[in-house]
Chains A and B, each alone.
Chain A
Amino acid sequence: MALLEIKDLHATVGDREILKGISLTVNSGEVHAIMGPNGSGKSTLAQVLAGRELYVVTGGQVIYDGKDLLAMLPEDRAREGIFLAFQYPVEIPGVSNMYFLKAALNAIRKHRGLEELDAMDFLSLVKDRMKLLEMDQVLLNRAVNAGFSGGEKKRNEIFQMAVLEPRLAILDETDSGLDIDALRTVAGGVNALRSPERAMIVVTHYQRLLNYIVPDYVHVLAEGRIVKSGGKELALELEESGYAGLGIVDEEEAVAKL
């Protein structure tokens, strides 16, 4: 049975339809890259899967682990093992990273019928996972993302993923705002978390990230639909010829050429 099955998914924000019939099947252990120009609906797809209420699903269905994903609250999706690494992680002054992460982990553990971790066990888990992302421990005691640099925020996302151990991780433009060293570190963290029990959907505009996180499948999204799917070589093809090679107008590239 597939871990995630998206069937003809339609979604709108306001009166604008962003997703116009997406179908995608993801099995455990697979890494799927979703590429596409700006405005193609990549981030919307990521947010809809995580349960953002801003978007209204107007058609289709999503089956996750045999359950109707769209009927679940965002917190229940997380407890069932879905994790979204945000493109723009939210700053939450007044809530320490440590407290936040412990509350999240214990909510998930409780849901899975596991005992809540005490402070000591939690700390040793956290220290272990911080090494993976080469994160400075002082960030733990700071407020969630508050005053973090762009790179620190992205590292923090993948660090949270390492602690929460999702079954389906959705990485939304995790490479944006990262310099090459930070990109290597973050990608290294993601690769360490690849496993036969875990699937990943990597949303990105550029092929660069996929040099480091090598996908099993690549899908190209344009105007709310998947227009092409293939293996990892599709990403390279896109790198060569750009989205225009597929007959897709990329606003960003179009502007760059002016």
Chain B
Amino acid sequence: MTAVAEQGLRETAFQRFLELGFPTTHDEDWRFTNVAPIARMGDRLRFSPLAKNGCLSPGFPPEAQQYLGKYAPFQNHAFVALNTALFRDVTYIHIPRGQIVGEPIQIRYDSPSEISHPRTLIVVGPDAHCTIVETYSGTGSYFTNAVTEIVAGSGSVVDHYKVQLESSSAFHVGVMFASLGRSANFSATSISLGGALVRNEVSVTLSEGTDATLNGLYLVNGAQHVDNHTSIEHAKPHGTSHELYKGILDGRASAVFNGRIIVRQDAQKTDSKQTNKNLVLSDEAVINTKPELQIFADDVRCTHGATIGQLDAESMFYLQSRGIGKQDARSLLTYAFAQDIIDRIKVQSLKDSLERVLFEKFHEHDR
């Protein structure tokens, strides 16, 4: 990308951000998530476009330039527009054709300032394999506005994990777009534990015979708000998608799950399954869950289901009748609810650390 081209992209994006402004709860996509606190922070900081001539280093690989900004459309998304206008660097990962990377690639974004726009571009060549773990964290009050673009070539195998461990007073908007090639096998796991006001978006487009799995776990307590928006677009025939998102809500926390599935006219023989399960531990916690199916093909199988429940009284009594105290029984059952998402994590170190974090979190609730 030449400096001129980069500048053009950024100026267009910034202009678009100004036109769109931050979304309000009048926008259908943001009905249950009020980003006014982020907007107020924005007003105070007064965003201004970056200096002329771009800021990507001259060393930014020419082959990456054709991808950057191509998969994350900002026309209808103020946060993506803002990120595109203002990101400082790009974390660029390229796995060449046929290369198999065994060890997980760890990307850590520890918030450096009051506001940051992490940008990640992952290009996986045909038949290549890789695992990527993106972790977001920080301390104090800040706003992280992240965009990740993934291009997975035909026949590639990509496992992506996003671990959101932002500070308890942070705002986080993270948007991921993945364009998946023919017969690619892709999984995206979103673990959302931190933050005061959080929006996670996962948007994938499948090609012919693509297999996509979207897993998610969100845990909210206190006055936390976490919104998960996912979009799965079956553009070509014979694609398979499985989605399982689970939420645990306590205190006065609130959460949103919105699962959009689009099956294009061409995408016959699509097989898609979506499940959202929520465990509500307090009277004041609120969950809004909504499937959104748009099906334009006629020979497809699409199922969806959502549940909202409390801890099972019979299970509680069974545990207590064996001498396990009420609070421990509660923790045990809550942990068990999250267990199948944890079990699906293939990165052992991540699995271990999450088990520890969850264990501590549930015991925190007890005190």
Contacts and interface: CB of A to CB of B under 8 A. Distances in A.
A144 B322 CA distance: 13
A104 B339 CA distance: 20
A47 to B, nearest CB: 9
Nearest to A110: B323
A105 B323 CA distance: 8
Contact of A107 (B313, B323, B333, B335): B323
Contacts of A160: 322
Contacts of A93: 336, 339-340
Interface stretch (A17-25, A59-67, A72-80): A72-80
A75 B323 contact: yes
A143 B343 CA distance: 13
Contact of B323 (A52, A78, A90): A78
Specify which of B319, B323, B329, B338 lies most central, judged by the most chain A CB atoms within 10 Å of its CB.
B323
Nearest to A52: B317
A50 to B, nearest CB: 5
Interface residues of B, number: 24
Contacts of B313: 53-54
Interface of B, helix, strand, loop or mixed by DSSP:
helix
Contacts of B340: 93-94
A73 B320 contact: yes
B335 A94 contact: yes
Given A52-B317, A53-B317, A94 B336 contact: yes
A130 interface: no
A6 B340 CA distance: 44
A108 B312 CA distance: 23
A159 B32 CA distance: 50
Given A94-B335, A103-B332, A108 B317 contact: no
A75 B325 CA distance: 6
Given A75-B326, A103-B332, A107-B325, A92 B339 contact: no
A212 to B, nearest CB: 24
B328 interface: yes
A52 to B, nearest CB: 6
Contacts of B335: 94-95
B333 A104 contact: no
A83 B320 CA distance: 11
A103 B321 contact: no
Given A90-B314, A92-B315, A104 B322 contact: yes
Nearest to B336: A94
A84 interface: yes
Contacts of A77: 321
Nearest to B343: A94
A179 B326 CA distance: 35
Given A75-B323, A107-B328, A95 B336 contact: yes
Interface string A129-150: 0000000000000011000000
Contact of A50 (B312, B321, B333, B337): B321
B222 to A, nearest CB: 25
A86 interface: yes
B318 interface: yes
Contact of B322 (A100, A111, A143): A100
Nearest to B317: A52
B324 interface: yes
Contacts of B312: 90
A92 B333 contact: yes
Interface in A77-132: 77-79, 83-84, 86, 89-90, 92-95, 100-101, 103-105, 107-108, 111
Contacts of B339: 93-95
A100 B319 contact: yes
Contact of B315 (A78, A90, A103): A90
A171 to B, nearest CB: 13
Contacts of A222: none
B324 A103 contact: yes
Instruction: Determine which residue in B324, B328, B332, B340 has the highest number of CB atoms from chain A within 10 A of its CB, and name it.
Output: B324
Interface of B: 312-315, 317-326, 328-329, 332-333, 335-340
Interface of A: 50-54, 73-75, 77-79, 83-84, 86, 89-90, 92-95, 100-101, 103-105, 107-108, 111, 143-144, 160, 164
Rank and list the top 6 A-B pairs by shortest CB-CB distance, nearest first: A94-B336, A94-B339, A78-B323, A104-B322, A74-B320, A90-B318
Given A92-B333, A94-B336, A104-B319, 13 more contacts: A53-B313, A53-B317, A73-B320, A74-B321, A75-B320, A78-B320, A90-B312, A92-B315, A93-B336, A93-B340, A94-B337, A95-B336, A160-B322
11 contacts: A53-B317, A73-B326, A74-B320, A75-B325, A92-B336, A94-B335, A95-B336, A107-B328, A160-B322, A164-B322, A164-B323
